[in-house]
Structure 1
Amino acid sequence: MNELNLNNLEIHNVIGTGADYEVRLAGQIGDTPNMVMKRPNPHSILKNLHASTETRTHKMIQFHKEIGNDITGITHILGYFQNTPQNNHLYTDELDHDYTVVCQERASGIPLNADVRARILKVPTGLGQTLFALFPLGLDEPFDIPCKLMDIQNDLYKHGYLLFDINPQNVFYSPDTGSLNMIDTADLHKLDAENDIKTSNKTKEDYFLELIRYYVSAEEIPTEESAYFSPRGDKPYINKESEINLLKSQFEQLTTSDSHTMLDIIKKIQSEYYQSVSDFNQDMMEYFSVVRERLQLAREKPETLASWYSAKEYLHHSHWSKYDFNPNYDKSTDNLEI
């Protein structure tokens, strides 16, 4: 990480707001924004309810200093600074309490799930997740997203960490380059140390279940463009038992050859069969090889493939223009073998 020259920087519009953080575009004064500034949600700061977020922020900064900035697929932290009521940098609002601002590289692509505010504006928020992860009919590498997430977790696990909350809102993807970035490492779990209350009771099985809930579909491939609009798995993750029961129920209702393979994986998770992340990843790769057959059959149906491309046109909605993303991305799938 480098020391930030705050006198040469300026912040721009908000591009994401969650329960814990607010994210704004930023960059050199007068230049195209090439970074983002992340701070605790300002409403929490104003009410002095951001202490737990601050703790997670400093844990995240330390992780990036140690290994995070060296892991492919995790957005680099460029630096950070403190704002206080007496010494406030870049932001103009008066929040009456100290807080930390993290400066990160601007991730290319779009979030696989747009934030909650976009739903109010009738944005089809689930397009990234459904088009590029769950039903990737038009991609050269149809399972690029889950495979890259598995690689990230495998690297982290080797270094004694696991990363939770890998939901699509925290994953940026650019289909033209295949670039994937995890933009949020706040829910970090260290395998051999005490952790905060949010991740202290979690294990590698929680990661397995998160990956399946967000990046594996228990549905038939859509034949209507509207089926691509809504995100999947966006209800709160409660615990392993309830998640296992839900996933079992969903895949038991799916009458495809690959559903049996996934049910076997879920049973292994339930029995804590997997001794490492790489063991789980290996079974998932075998599962994806089975699903390839179903995707290939769907591609051969003109109306199904047309629905995918028709849904992709909604990425021209003005909402997506605030991201570093080319909605005109296209690669011919005429000769694509999934």
Structure 2
Amino acid sequence: MLQTEKNPPTIIEEDEEEFDYEALPKNTSLASNLMAGAFAGIMEHTVMYPVDAIKTRMQIVSKGGVSYSGISNAISRISATEGARALWRGITSVAIGAGPAHAVYFSVYEHTKQQFGGNEGTGYHPIATSLAGACATIASDALMNPFDVIKQRMQLAGHLYPNIAACATSIYRTEGFSAFYISYPTTLFMNIPLTALNFTTYEALSKFLNPQRKYDPLTHCIAGGLAGAVAAAATTPMDVIKTFLQTKGSSSDPEIRNTNSLVDASRVIYRREGLKGFMRGLRPRIVSNMPSTAISWTGYEMAKFYLYRSW
């Protein structure tokens, strides 16, 4: 009798130790992925925001504009002429938009990955992961794009707005509602391959570094950082074009202001700076994206792990 009574708890303990937190259980609500995604998004975009601001400054195409030789040079010059707070302008827009956008991003990713068979077995499913990442990008970018436009306008030198509401109102009055989405097609052209690279690289590195698929912040951080660096480097040319379109309304150059498509923007950049123009801001983009993606994945995995345990 004593032996019979002891057996059930032993079995339960083994089951609890072997749970797979990688996919939240089917009986949990959508709120779990929404909360995990929102937490990851806010962490990702706010921590490395000053470097992102430098990247935006370095990507601006203008005649006789301010140019920076590197990240350190940009920090010192911006701090000396505008104050250190200038590197944080527009962060409110990111904080407001990143939470909901990343909540949508990760929840769509988890749902579509399950639907495409990405959680079946223990093998690697790059096609399912890439498709899920693409679906997540389309949904989240539709929500985030206006906030990104406001953010980049506020990051520019010489364009001071008291708050994001004033910036949004100014853009709407002078350029119309379309200004908030003029870069959306370009953003998708950039973010779909970026997301595919990010997710597939992360999944591959995670399976290599952490074959047991247990919660391990160190391997999540390493895999996320490397995945972010690869994705950022590969998609920098499209990011330059996106920045061009999102900030053109602040330019005094008629040719830049009248550019309305990805193709037209590409022609202007190439004519003025050649192929090297498409790699503007490469270093700060990698420096920003590598830790921010590491933070995003680590934060998401942490939130997912603790949500699983508490659900």
**Larger helix proportion of the pair:** 2
Larger Rg: 2
TM-score, length of structure 1 as denominator length: 0.27
